[in-house]
Amino acid sequence: MTDVERRAALDDIGAEVAVCTRCRLSQARTKAVPGEGTEATEVIFVGEGPGFNEDRQGRPFVGQAGALLTELLGSVGWTREEVFITNVVKCRPPENRDPEPDEIAACAPFLTRQLAALDPALVVTLGRFSMARFNPGARIGQVHGTYRAADPESGAPAALTYAMYHPAAALHQGSLKATLFRDMEGVPTALLEARKLRTERLAAAPATDQSPYQAAAGPPPIPAPSSAATTAPGPAAQPIAEPIAEPAPAIVGGPDGQTAESDPTDQLGLF
């Protein structure tokens, strides 16, 4: 798919999202929030769902959590404009409650189509609802700051996923901010691994069967986020793991030494 075709596909999805009435979230929304960013990217960030500010503006991550996400991107030399940012659900859950399973299911085809259009090398999941889409069964306290192959059912069969806490979690629990920044350090490394994996898979695939990888030689010709090619492996980077099966394989100590048992966001169901 060319960049022009990717843009057209994303714009079509955005237009459908804007008038979608597939679930009850459409009834209370001001604006739907399809997502934004460049079509020429290898990296997609997927959050949970729009909040108050996003609902008003029709843009993802423009409130306080968004300011932190922008800061996190900046910490590795990236900008919002170099990636694509979207959410699991495209309309604001009332009072910022968790999205319900039927709402997530109703909205899922939009994210699937966005993934198909972008064919990202790396999906950075922000929070547990996004993580659950790409690595069902994972516990965020165990897997944050690590990358692994995406569940092929996620719509991104050729991608690695990298799990992070939701930026809003750090607004509720200040100690998570340092964890988020530490985990962010590992994202460029995960992208390098994702590129390597795609190149290897492309080389191994028969010439007639390169889907879903780009049939053109090598990874997609995108402007690489600026630090990706030069950033040394971050302390948070972990080896590739197999897609998580239930129960999730133990990852002994996260980058910050937390375990699922000691992770307050797992216990409280925050993000």
User: Which residues contribute to the site for ligand URA (CB under 6 A)?
Assistant: 47-51, 54, 60-61, 65-66, 87, 168
Q: Which is nearer to ligand URA, 66 or 141 (CB)?
A: 66
What the block records as the tokens of 128 is 């547990």
Q: Which is nearer to ligand URA, 172 or 201 (CB)?
A: 172
* Omega cis (within 30) before 233: no
**What is d(CA 64, CA 98) in angstroms, rounded to the nearest whole number?**
18
**What is d(CA 224, CA 227) in angstroms, rounded to the nearest whole number?**
8
Q: Which is nearer to ligand URA, 48 or 183 (CB)?
A: 48
* Least distance between ligand URA and beta carbon 115 (Å): 17
Q: Which is nearer to ligand URA, 89 or 191 (CB)?
A: 89
* Least distance between ligand URA and beta carbon 85 (Å): 7
**Helix segments in the chain, DSSP class H:** 3-18, 25-28, 52-57, 64-75, 101-118, 128-134, 140-143, 167-172, 175-185, 187-204, 264-268
Do β-strands 43-47 and 36-37 pair in parallel, antiparallel, or remain unpaired?
unpaired
* Least distance between ligand URA and beta carbon 141 (Å): 18
- What is the number of the residue whose Cβ is closest to ligand URA? 47
* Least distance between ligand URA and beta carbon 56 (Å): 12
List of residues 6+ apart from 222 with CB closer than 8 A: 38, 40, 41, 42
CA-closest candidate to residue 88, choices 23, 41, 11, 160: 23
Q: Which is nearer to ligand URA, 216 or 268 (CB)?
A: 268
* Least distance between ligand URA and beta carbon 31 (Å): 12
Q: What does the DSSP 8-state code read for residue 237?
A: -
